[in-house]
Each structure stands twice: as structure tokens, then as C-alpha cells.
Chains A and B, each alone.
Chain A
Amino acid sequence: GQNIDQPTEMTATEGAIVQINCTYQTSGFNGLFWYQQHAGEAPTFLSYNVLDGLEEKGRFSSFLSRSKGYSYLLLKELQMKDSASYLCAVSAWDLSYIPTFGRGTSLIVHP
């Protein structure tokens, strides 16, 4: 999606914390999703934010600021299996409410 930006690639160390940012520009915001996609596999749902603030779910947390058009996914106590692509997707009026995806952030976790 041309209005949704996230870094292309990030690297981190096992056991560390990493924050993956996503910025968007839309009208009539209706929610933001994060998905995880391992190589060669289907994307799987991680989180959904529609109100401002932090949603925590185990080692993963997602934050949203609607006024800033900004979200981040926070991964704690990184494990090797967290190496994957993380996709940010936005639903909004000007995107016809179709979940529209960014290009994804490839996260590489090193031992």
C-alpha cells in the first residue's frame, strides 16, 4: 500500500527487544492489523488496534496513535523462531475498508 510505510529489514539478537514501526496516511481510519509471515507460509494474525494505546499479548505488544498515524509492534525476549516478515495493514474509508498492507519488515534474529 502506497500510504503505509515500514522498514524493509531489521536485525536483532536473541533475548533482546525489537520495535517495528509502521506509519500510515489515510482518511476514515477503521483499524490497524499486524500479521506475522514465515518464509513460504501464510500470514498469521498477531494484533488489531482501533483505539489509541498499547495492547499487550504475551511477548508481543502493539501500540497505536491515531493522531500521529503511527503504530509499532514490540517483540520482547526474542527467540530464533521470531525471524519472519511482519506485515502492517490498515483498514480505512479511503481504502474502501479493504485491509491494505505495507511492504512488510523482514526481521532476522541472531543467536
Chain B
Amino acid sequence: GAGVSQSPSNKVTEKGKDVELRCDPISGHTALYWYRQRLGQGLEFLIYFQGNSAPDKSGLPSDRFSAERTGESVSTLTIQRTQQEDSAVYLCASSRWARGLDTGELFFGEGSRLTVL
């Protein structure tokens, strides 16, 4: 597709269940980022991929959160044993260039809205 695609767009789950969120970046974009946005808040960095390696996992809030990426394409963010405080919009973004170089514009997906009951 032409843009960053995320699925599901909405997910309602019960506390304690696992959820998997998917991101399909723009073709050819090597860098991929996951951010979390709680209601009325700014974007909170979670994890960054350069290709399929994750050089920066510093933003993952706990060991219940993990992410992987296949080559330079699809990434999945997994949240195990969800808690109510995990409720947020999870945004994925991709960019053409690696960090530290001419930092490229981030292209965002529409996000996955997660509600934990």
C-alpha cells in the first residue's frame, strides 16, 4: 500500500489476555518505530527497528511488551497479560533513513486503539 497500515484499528480485550498489533510500513523504509499515545497525552516512544534488528528497546514499559520485525517489512507488537493501564492508541511510524543520519520524516499509521476492560 501507499501508506503505513496498522491492524486491528480497534481492539477490546479483557484484563490478562494477550494482544498482538500489526504494522505494515511503507515499502523501502528501513526504520520503524512504535509509539503509544494515552488519551490527551503526547507520543511515548516504545521501540525502534533498523531493518529487522531492534537497537533501541529502551521505551518498552515492562517485560510484558515485546516486538519483532520480519526483514524490512511487517512488525508485530505483542502485549502479554494486558492491564488496564495498557489502554491507549498504539502508533507505528516508518521512515526512509536511519537515525543519526539525515533524520527522515516519520510517516504514521492510523493507529490501533486498545481498550483493556
Binding site for B on A (CB under 8 A): 1, 30-31, 33, 35, 41-45, 48, 87, 89, 91, 96-104
On whether the beta carbons of A87 and B43 are closer than 8 Å, the reply is yes
- Bin chain B's interface residue count: 20 to 34
Given contacts A48-B105, A98-B33, A99-B33, contact A42 B99 (CB under 8 A): no
A89 to B44, CA, bound (A): 11
Question: Restricting to B98-112, which residues have a CB under 8 Å from any CB of A?
Answer: 99-100, 103, 105-111
Q: Can you list 30 A-B contacts with CB-CB less than 8 angstroms, sorted by A residue number?
A: A1-B42, A30-B103, A31-B103, A33-B105, A35-B108, A41-B110, A42-B4, A42-B108, A42-B111, A43-B43, A43-B106, A43-B108, A44-B108, A45-B106, A45-B107, A48-B103, A48-B105, A87-B42, A87-B43, A91-B103, A96-B99, A97-B100, A98-B33, A98-B45, A98-B59, A99-B103, A100-B45, A101-B35, A102-B42, A103-B42
A33 CB to closest chain B CB (Å) equals 7
On whether the beta carbons of A103 and B109 are closer than 8 Å, the reply is no
On whether the beta carbons of B103 and A43 are closer than 8 Å, the reply is no
On whether the beta carbons of B99 and A101 are closer than 8 Å, the reply is no
Known: A30-B100, A98-B99, A102-B42. 7 other contacts (CB 8 A): A35-B108, A42-B111, A45-B106, A48-B105, A87-B42, A91-B103, A99-B106
Chain A CB within 10 Å, residue with most, of B56, B106, B109: B106
A41 to B110, CA, bound (A): 6
A1 contacts which chain B residues (CB < 8 A)? Answer: 42
B21 within 8 A of A: no
On whether the beta carbons of A97 and B45 are closer than 8 Å, the reply is no
B70 within 8 A of A: no
B77 within 8 A of A: no
B10 CB to closest chain A CB (Å) equals 11
A96 to B100, CA, bound (A): 8
